[in-house]
Amino acid sequence: MSRFELTVWGARGSIPAPAAANTRYGSDTSCVEVRCGDRVLVFDAGTGIVGCGRKLYEEQVGEIDILLTHCHFDHIIGLPFVIPLYKDHAAVRIHAGHFLDDTTCRDMVERFMRPPYFPVTPKQFAAHIDYRDFRPPAVLDLGDGIVVRTVRLNHPNGAVGYRVDFEGRSICYITDTEHEPGTRDEAVAAFVAGAEVMIYDSTYSDEDMAKYRGFGHSTWQEGVRLCQAGGIDRLVIFHHDVLRTDASLAKLAEEAQAHFAGARIGATGLTLAIGDDGTVTESHDDGTGQAG
Ligand SMILES: [Zn+2]
Ligand SMILES: [Zn+2]
């Protein structure tokens, strides 16, 4: 079977958090690269996509699918800095389906990249850009055996959760979403069940949740419960609150793993590869080029 793996390029929520106290887990906002054989899918275009785009350019990757959960700034602010968008060898499909009105993906990018907010407009992209609109629960057939399922999430202004199914294995990317405390979101639970890995909005903890009702985010404990209910081996704790530091995330890792051995903290450079039999192998590139 073919390679199937994800790499986290940014795991923070809301706003980047560059600081000496945040070097271990990284400071960039949401971006996850998924490799399905030779194909490249990139989920969200937060600041993490800048490094991802640089690497894809260095590898001369010609075909890229960017799938956006929604267009809050922490999920799109890196888009204007994706090098392949400015290269004529590249073909890039940008998918979005969270809109609650008749806004299209192209409208969204054009409104976002325009003076006086930003000097460059999408007219300056040299790549072949294909804007793709959908409405959850649409099933996106990306070819080469890659099927991407979608689900609507509970988030202000809308958001979409994704599930990539490839050669009998599955990765779920579920951010940003709010659950009703004490109640499982059955639509999400059914959607993620049986996957090998789930990346999940863990902005808060159950203890904090009462203070943040209506903010559109969930908890690491809810991620654990969804994994346990759905037979999912690995949870990637994701969309870290800006106040979380390396020290508090390391503590969270211990606490989460005591509840669920497959819990991992989303960190820039973390790669999870899913083998033919569904086993997950982990590595971490700390930026020195040495995976460890
Ligand atoms: Zn967010
Ligand atoms: Zn959001």
Is 5 a residue whose pLDDT tops 90? Answer: yes
Q: Could you state, in order of their start, the residue ranges of all structural domains in the chain?
A: 4-284
- Work out the pLDDT band at 286, boundaries 50, 70, 90: confident
How close is the Cα of 65 to the center of ligand 1, in Å?
20
Give the number of other CB atoms < 10 A from CB of residue 208. 12
How close is the Cα of 87 to the center of ligand 2, in Å?
29
How close is the Cα of 178 to the center of ligand 1, in Å?
11
Q: Which ligand is the nearest neighbour of the Cα of 11?
A: 1
How close is the Cα of 203 to the center of ligand 1, in Å?
9
How close is the Cα of 149 to the center of ligand 2, in Å?
20
How close is the Cα of 211 to the center of ligand 1, in Å?
18
How close is the Cα of 28 to the center of ligand 1, in Å?
12
Output b/e per residue, 231-257; b: 16+ Cβ within 10 A.
ebbbbbbbbbbbebbbeebeebbeebe
How close is the Cα of 242 to the center of ligand 2, in Å?
14
Mean pLDDT of 221-232: 98
How close is the Cα of 217 to the center of ligand 2, in Å?
8
How close is the Cα of 258 to the center of ligand 2, in Å?
29
Give the number of other CB atoms < 10 A from CB of residue 88. 10
How close is the Cα of 161 to the center of ligand 1, in Å?
12
How close is the Cα of 276 to the center of ligand 1, in Å?
32
Q: What is the pLDDT of residues 229-248, one digit of tens each?
A: 999 999 999 999 999 999 99
How close is the Cα of 72 to the center of ligand 2, in Å?
5
Is 214 a residue whose pLDDT tops 70? Answer: yes
User: Dihedrals φ, ψ of 277, to 5°?
Assistant: -95, 10
How close is the Cα of 176 to the center of ligand 1, in Å?
6
**DSSP secondary structure of the chain:** ---EEEEEEE-B-SS---SGGGTTT---BSEEEEEETTEEEEE--STTHHHHHHHHHHTT--EEEEE-S--SHHHHTTGGG-GGGG-TT-EEEEEE---SSS--HHHHHHHHS-TTT-S--GGG--SEEEEEE--TT-EEEEETTEEEEEEEE--TT-EEEEEEEETTEEEEEE-S--PPTTS--HHHHHHHTT-SEEEEE-SB-TTTGGGGTTSS--BHHHHHHHHHHHT-SEEEEESB-TT--HHHHHHHHHHHHHH-TTEEE--TTEEEEE-TTS-EEEEEB-SSS-B-
- Work out the pLDDT band at 55, boundaries 50, 70, 90: very high
- Work out the pLDDT band at 288, boundaries 50, 70, 90: low
The Cα-based distances of 83 to 22, 31, 104, 191 in angstroms read: 26, 15, 23, 33
Q: How far apart are CA 122 and CA 108, in angstroms?
A: 11
Q: Which ligand is the nearest neighbour of the Cα of 216?
A: 2
Whether residue 262 contacts residue 256, with contact meaning beta carbons closer than 8 Å, is answered with: no
How much is the pLDDT for 1? Answer: 81
How close is the Cα of 74 to the center of ligand 1, in Å?
5
Q: What is the pLDDT of residues 72-129, one digit of tens each?
A: 999 999 999 999 999 999 999 999 999 999 999 999 999 999 999 999 999 999 999 9
Q: Which ligand is the nearest neighbour of the Cα of 160?
A: 2
Architecture of domain 4-284: 4-Layer Sandwich (3.60)
How close is the Cα of 68 to the center of ligand 1, in Å?
11
